[in-house]
Structure 1
């Protein structure tokens, strides 16, 4: 007697717990507003596009755990983003692939450019709040020290935001003559020096103060004004002018 094929179960297969989650989250975003969503759900909405199938909540939460904040996630490098791994509810490995990492990096670049546009709508000096927001977005979560200069024209409008040097976790070499030479090449009348402290504390060091004096002296000899030196850290932005250091 031939074996009979097993009878098909009439019981419907259980749906995964995340079934319908995407549409529910989108509906909540539409009705309550994006500003009501916690950071991980906002990330989920964005990850839906990079990862069109499956549960992305574990990935969103793993990103926030790994980097500590939404801003830090977006500021992370593609290489660092791709190290993030997670498991879904069934124990299957999920993570951040090259496409997802590039999408997140692109979102940060879009945010940075929008902030730069806002800072550059008026003269830099009169849009100081927008400028501080821009430099924080650009440098707040940089893992290595970066020295850059905002070169300004006679109306204090931005000519160029230029990265002069990248360094280690606590030092970026600065050459005052090169900073001033570049101002002459751009026909800049003024500048604002900007660098970050990856440690998070924006308090100026003795070396920062000495370097600033050297740049001011070199610039003064060629009638170029140094308006300020801003140090960006996760805890805020320190202004040499406001601190009475210049």
Structure 2
């Protein structure tokens, strides 16, 4: 079997490309056993089938994982870096970003339907999905009502690879605008290590000091990274 310049496979012996049976088997396994039965590269292959209806997608799927490390990191990777991988164009990037957006919408829906403090694992899953693999620091605030239901989920600032400017009075001002009784702070460390810095600790305590006299409780500050997450409450830093 050979391949034409436009990326389409020419038929080999028997009139079928060599990967034809592989696609059928992979789809059947997915239908019968679910995504748990597939390796990360196989799940990526499934996504790429629609973009490349007549091309072997396994090499592209493996190249993406080799570059970015995991299925989640592929979906979260910046568009420009995805297109650095040979064989990846706008159509592939659009498909990957659509799946990523769908995953975030689902995770956000899971959070918004629950009382946050009674479904902490769901909150953590959402925060990691939204921020853990970003290449820039982001500072997010979850605004809660008196029953710890989610009022709003907002990204307040986006910074550089290792710094995001945060202004405690602006954080509290926004909480008052939303009539929020409590807040959860979340930010990411693109380095992958979620260990809080001295500046993180100082900023958190400043926000708590400004918020408390106004009746706004700081429930927690979560830092997420590729290596996991840390909770300021769990570390007894607040």
TM-score for both structures, normalised by structure 2: 0.90
Instruction: Give secondary structure in 2 for the equivalent of 1:160.
Output: strand
Q: Sort the Cα spacing of 1:194 and 1:33 in 2 relative to 1 into closer, same or farther, 3 A.
A: closer
Alignment of 1:91-130 (within 5 A): 95-130=87-122
The number of aligned residues is 226
Q: Sort the Cα spacing of 1:177 and 1:43 in 2 relative to 1 into closer, same or farther, 3 A.
A: same
Quick one: distance in 2 between partners of 1:120 and 1:35? 26
Residues 12 and 18 of structure 2 are in contact (CA less than 8 Å); yes or no, is this contact kept in structure 1? no
Alignment of 1:56-95 (within 5 A): 56-85=57-86, 95=87
Question: Unaligned regions of 5+ residues in structure 1, if any?
Answer: 1-11, 86-94
Q: CA deviation at 1:53?
A: 1.9
Are residues 1:22 and 2:14 paired?
no
Quick one: distance in 1 between partners of 2:162 and 2:187? 11
Q: CA deviation at 1:13?
A: 5.1
Instruction: Give secondary structure in 2 for the equivalent of 1:229.
Output: strand
Q: Identify which range, 114-123 or 129-138, moves more after superposition.
A: 114-123
CA root-mean-square deviation: 1.5
Q: CA deviation at 1:38?
A: 1.1
Q: CA deviation at 1:27?
A: 2.3
Are residues 1:203 and 2:195 paired?
yes
Residues 147 and 196 of structure 1 are in contact (CA less than 8 Å); yes or no, is this contact kept in structure 2? yes
| Residue number in structure 2 paired with 1:7 | none
Quick one: distance in 1 between partners of 2:180 and 2:32? 49
| Residue number in structure 2 paired with 1:216 | 208
Q: Sort the Cα spacing of 1:99 and 1:231 in 2 relative to 1 into closer, same or farther, 3 A.
A: same
TM-score for both structures, normalised by structure 1: 0.87
Residues 124 and 157 of structure 1 are in contact (CA less than 8 Å); yes or no, is this contact kept in structure 2? yes
| Residue number in structure 2 paired with 1:43 | 44
- 1:194-218 Cα offsets, whole Å, 9 max, x none, are 0001111111110000000111111
Q: CA deviation at 1:159?
A: 1.0
Quick one: distance in 2 between partners of 1:13 and 1:147? 53
Higher helix fraction (1 or 2): 2
Residues 119 and 128 of structure 1 are in contact (CA less than 8 Å); yes or no, is this contact kept in structure 2? no
Residues 220 and 231 of structure 2 are in contact (CA less than 8 Å); yes or no, is this contact kept in structure 1? yes
| Residue number in structure 2 paired with 1:164 | 156
Q: Which has the larger radius of gyration?
A: 1
Residues 182 and 219 of structure 2 are in contact (CA less than 8 Å); yes or no, is this contact kept in structure 1? yes
Quick one: distance in 1 between partners of 2:236 and 2:166? 22
Quick one: distance in 2 between partners of 1:116 and 1:32? 26
Quick one: distance in 2 between partners of 1:203 and 1:224? 26
Q: CA deviation at 1:80?
A: 1.9
